[in-house]
Amino acid sequence: MAPSAAERTVIENGAVATVDADDTEYASGHVVVAGNRIESVGPGPAPADLENVVERIDATGHLVTPGLVNTHHHFYQWLTRGLATDHHLFDWLVALYPTWARIDEPMVHAAAQGSLAMMARGGVTTAMDHHYVFPRGAGDLSGALVRAARETGVRFTLARGSMDLGASDGGLPPDFAVESLDGALAATEDTVRAHHDPSPDAMVQVAVAPCSPFSVSTDLLRHSAELARRLGVRLHTHGSETVEEDAFCRERFGMGPTDYLASTGWLGEDVWMAHCVHMSDADIAAFARTGTGVAHCPSSNARLAAGIARVPDLLAAGVPVGLGVDGSASNESGELHTELRNALLINRLGAHREGALTARRALRLGTHGGARVLGRAADTGSLEPGKLADLVVWRMDTLAHASIADPVAALVLGAAAPVTASFVDGRRIVADGRLLTVDEDAVARTTRDQARRLARVAAGD
């Protein structure tokens, strides 16, 4: 539909942070949405004579930003929140793998709905899920994830994960939780062919995503990279998350995680990795040289005592960096907007102190940075004419924020801001803090019931 004939939504009289290349901001500005694209952004109110206006939102007392982009998550973990709360990563995984290996399609769908609903009502417009546990006979788990994303109305990247290195072969997961090499590759290709949309407007895309160096074989890493490049999709995995992972790689492969992953074809502009906490100068240089992206997960890294990622150094080197919630079993809030604040605060505890991140740099990580990491920065991640209409209107005139002088600082450093409106692909999915696409109370009941069912199944009842 041509913009002149498209239905328009006008948002005006609010502060606007575009997160474009120049960090353009308007103390009082407007955004006009035509169809599923942004038609115009500018200062002051929108033109009064626009045609086909179906809604005008008075954003006085609000801040308008691009929608938040989540670059790393594990939706199924919504059903195991609050367990193993005092473990580091390896012990935490060993404690929870036996439970996770009992998931099935209804559980995964419920967990995805819960995860997506929590993120969407908090300003996320593009989500991703790294799902790597596929028990035999569990049903169509990838289909359940895609279905939940469509029901919630968010843009979605499904990172089809896999594990083939069980405990008997020196890996971390139990043998009954892994797939065969050939089975994982075939299922991954089937998922790409069934669900991946390569178009700029895509609501669902698929990435190839074997889990981690300590849960997959070298052959699976190599063949997965070849598969992804043959199919023209992106690659994702965990990397350099903990000192235990570093020790595992050095003992088993004679090199650190970055060098090991590089040896299997896992560096490049089509790759992003989660965490990247324990990175040397040489590792950062390798990421910068190859354009490999990073999903920074500050709350999860703290929850699992993994350490402080060198985000200021990564950014200074030109490495693409976005933010991730990570699985809700290591970040019980399940929200991305809290990661804006935590990324700034935790990185200021590192070597760069108060110079580590600014509020605007944190907002960029959560929007344009995430879009860049997912390979979608040409069409989303900032408020610019021609880009997809994925945006959020945050309320800033309540008790929690009204006296904070700078609205961007209020969003990043203040309490969680209410979402007056959130749009994905030009469609409003949140109004006054409530989802319009799914019944939040029904989702809460279903996730509770499925969490209890999973606990009973895992206990052998």
Residue 236's contacts (CB-CB under 8 Å, 6 or more residues apart) are 72, 128, 130, 159, 207, 208, 209, 271, 272, 273, 274
Model confidence pTM above 0.85: yes
Looking at residue 360, what is its pLDDT? 98
Looking at residue 2, what is its pLDDT? 47
Residues facing residue 37 across a β-bridge: 34, 388
Phi, psi (rounded to 5 degrees) for 432: 50, 45
Nearest to 174 by CA among 135, 137, 224, 213: 135
For tokens 């590089």, the residue is 262
Q: Tell me: the pLDDT tens digits for 369-383?
A: 999 999 999 999 999
pLDDT at 461 exceeding the cut of 90: no
Considering the chain, tell me which residue range(s) the CATH 2.30.40.10 domain(s) occupy.
3-66+387-435
How far apart (Å, rounded) are the C-alpha atoms in residues 65 and 410?
13
* Range from 145-149, 166-170, 269-273, 360-364 carrying the lowest mean pLDDT: 166-170
Q: What is the mean pLDDT of residues 407-431?
A: 98
Give the CATH superfamily of 3-66+387-435.
Urease, subunit C, domain 1 (2.30.40.10)
Fill in the amino acid letter for 341: R
At 54, which helix (H) or strand (E)?
strand 53-58
How far apart (Å, rounded) are the C-alpha atoms in residues 408 and 406?
6
Q: What is the mean pLDDT of residues 71-78?
A: 98
Average pLDDT, the chain: 96
Q: What is the mean pLDDT of residues 188-192?
A: 98
Q: Tell me: the pLDDT tens digits for 3-26?
A: 557 999 999 999 999 999 999 999
Tell me how crowded residue 199 is: count the other CB atoms within 10 A of its CB: 8
Nearest to 367 by CA among 355, 379, 350, 357: 379
Looking at residue 1, what is its pLDDT? 42
Looking at residue 44, what is its pLDDT? 97
Give the CATH superfamily of 68-373.
Metal-dependent hydrolases (3.20.20.140)
pLDDT at 96 exceeding the cut of 50: yes
Considering the chain, tell me which residue range(s) the CATH 3.20.20.140 domain(s) occupy.
68-373
Q: Which 3-state string (H, E, C) describes 321-388?
A: EEECCCCCCCCCCCCCHHHHHHHHHHHCCCCCHHHCCCHHHHHHHHHHHHHHHCCCCCCCCCCCCCCE
pLDDT at 391 exceeding the cut of 80: yes
How far apart (Å, rounded) are the C-alpha atoms in residues 178 and 67?
35
> How many CA within 13 A on the CB side of residue 136?
7
Helix crossing, 440-458 with 89-100: angle to 10°?
A: 90
Exposed (0-12), middle (13-18) or buried (19+): which is 188, by Cβ within 10 Å? buried
Q: Tell me: the pLDDT tens digits for 267-281?
A: 999 999 999 999 999
Q: Tell me: the pLDDT tens digits for 240-263?
A: 999 999 999 999 999 999 999 999
Tokens of 233: 């999709």
For tokens 């569990």, the residue is 138
Tell me how crowded residue 407 is: count the other CB atoms within 10 A of its CB: 26
